[in-house]
Amino acid sequence: MLPERTDVLVVGAGPTGLAVAVTLAGHGVTATVVDRLAEPPVTSRAAVVHAGTLEVLDRIGIAAPLAARGLRSARFSVRDRDRVLVTVPFDRLPSRYPYALLISQAETEAVLADRLTALGGRVLRPYEMTGLDLDGDGAVARFGGGRAVRARWVVGADGMHSRVRELAGIGFGGPADPGESFLLADVHVDSTLPRDQVSLFLSRQGPLVWAPLPDGTVRLVATVDDAPRDPQAHHFQALLDERGPARRPDRVTGMAWSSRFRIHHRIASTYRSGPVLLAGDAAHVHSPAGGQGMNLGLRDAVALGDALAAGPQALDGYAADRRPLAEEVLGFAAGLTRLAAAPPPLRPLRNLLLRLVSTVPPARHRIATRLAGFEPARTRPRPRPRPRPR
Ligand SMILES: Cc1cc2nc3c(=O)[nH]c(=O)nc-3n(C[C@H](O)[C@H](O)[C@H](O)COP(=O)(O)OP(=O)(O)OC[C@H]3O[C@@H](n4cnc5c(N)ncnc54)[C@H](O)[C@@H]3O)c2cc1C
């Protein structure tokens, strides 16, 4: 049942909303978390959690259970067909989690939900927020059947098409292009590629990511011009033939799940408007190149949970700190995409540059640190604030 009043209303129980609620619960603040879906999704979607994110999640008791369920990738290699252009090592990262953790988003959400339950919280389903009125005391969120919840703070963790963002009148700007179109699948594949690392194939037609998952399947993600509505195994075989290993080609033997999506690069004009705060995909969306999207959202979430528990004065700091980080990540993801899709005359130069980088350990380390999502000191977790009286 929805309460009539709450201090913090979190709209959306994806990874971001769950992580905000877990962080708050750790500070002794019970948030009301709602989601319009009757059940959490079971599909894999975002498949990597990076070391910088695991460090942040460690503080809310999530890193160890996640690490126990995932597959640890100690390296990331960039390839042009059979040629390894550069190998990026994660195992020298200054972290207790020196790897990229490969794990389905459904598992990540399950670990967060279990932790929330252990801390006495839960997600109220299915409740779709349809209206939001802001006033001097906070906001009134409206739901179907005439139900309403008055909240001091409303967290918009409701994804790319955020109602919270829209109803708060917060802009979501970006280039007016049609966006990038992606195909992705978890496939069974006969392959000679190493099963302990992620491979990124750079090809004229666009990048192809090859990432092993703990259940033995391999996640393929590729940019395509025209994504079929219902992608089949043969579409992914064609992508592997076009962009993957050439001497000993991969062979797709089955498909567990597939999807397509289109991504625009967008950032919310502000992360805070009065009592409304945004985090995760509600605040930023960009290409999945480098697997940064959900990671950035999870780090937003812990920062926001800390700021909400610390009190109103910390919230402007949250908004001011986090938005520039999203701008950086958007630029990084766009750069990776441009690198992959370099026109044919520039490809030998690009490959040469990458091979040069591969001979300079500090350069490889820098790329590893960037991919791992370590954030500048200003957004490192603040000292733990004292719980607010409830
Ligand atoms: C098919 C697919 C593949 C992807 N692959 C990758 C990948 O490989 N790498 C990567 O980094 N990212 C990937 N992503 C993106 C990644 O899934 C998102 O970055 C991540 O889910 C963002 O988390 P979030 O919690 O901010 O938002 P979401 O996961 O979108 O969660 C939002 C939640 O809010 C709920 N909600 C929405 N509106 C309302 C409302 N009005 N009232 C109540 N509840 C509401 C929704 O039901 C949902 O549960 C993929 C996404 C999709 C769809």
Confidence band, pLDDT 50/70/90 cuts, at residue 381: very low
Q: Is the pLDDT of residue 338 over 90?
A: no
Average pLDDT over the chain, rounded to whole? 92
The CA radius of gyration of the chain, in Å to the nearest whole number, is: 21
Please tell me the predicted confidence (pLDDT) of residue 185.
97
pLDDT at 98 over 70: yes
Average pLDDT over residues 66-83: 95
Q: Give the DSSP H or E segment for 236.
A: helix 233-243
Predicted confidence (pLDDT) per residue in 339-364, tens digit:
876 777 888 888 898 889 889 999 99
Angle, CA of 210, 212 and 216, to the nearest 5°: 135
Between the CA of 353 and the centroid of ligand 1 the distance, in Å, is: 35
Residue 89, ligand 1, Cβ within 6 A: no
The alpha carbon of 160 and the centre of ligand 1 are apart by a number of angstroms equal to 7
Share of the chain above pLDDT 90, in %: 76
Residue 265: other Cβ atoms inside 10 A: 19
**pLDDT over 80 (residue 215):** yes
Pocket test of ligand 1: the residue of 36, 147, 259, 276 to mutate, having most ligand atoms within 8 Å of its CB, is: 36
Whether ligand 1 lies within 6 angstroms of the CB of 227 is answered as no
Q: Which of 315-324, 359-368, 380-389 has the lowest mean pLDDT?
A: 380-389
User: How remote is the CA of residue 91 from the centroid of ligand 1, in Å?
Assistant: 29
Q: Does residue 75's CB lie within 6 angstroms of at least one atom of ligand 1?
A: no
CA 159 – ligand 1 centroid, Å = 5
Question: Given a cut of 50, is residue 386 above it in pLDDT?
Answer: no
3-state helix/strand/coil string of 341-381: CCCHHHHHHHHHHHHHHHCCHHHHHHHHHHHHCCCCHHHCC
Mutate to test the pocket of ligand 1, among 42, 45, 147 (most ligand atoms within 8 A of CB): 45
The reported pLDDT for the residue numbered 49 is 97
Tens of pLDDT along 8-58?
A: 999 999 999 999 999 999 999 999 999 999 999 998 899 999 999 999 999
Report the alpha-carbon angle 310-315-320, nearest 5: 135
pLDDT at 207: 86
Instruction: Return the pLDDT at 277.
Output: 98
Q: How many whole angstroms from 157 Cα to the centroid of ligand 1?
A: 9
288 lines ligand 1 (CB under 6 A): yes
Per-residue model confidence (pLDDT) at position 376:
73
Q: What is the pLDDT of residue 389?
A: 44
3-state secondary structure of 12: coil
Q: Is the pLDDT of residue 174 over 80?
A: no
Nearest to 184 by CA among 263, 67, 86: 263
**pLDDT over 60 at 274, yes or no:** yes
Helix pair 313-340, 293-310: axis angle to 10 deg? 170
Ligand 1 atom with the smallest distance to the CA of 294 is: 19
Closest protein CA for atom 38 of ligand 1: 158
pLDDT exceeds 70 at position 383: no
Question: What's the token pair of residue 345?
Answer: 């005359």
Give the pLDDT score at 378.
Answer: 56
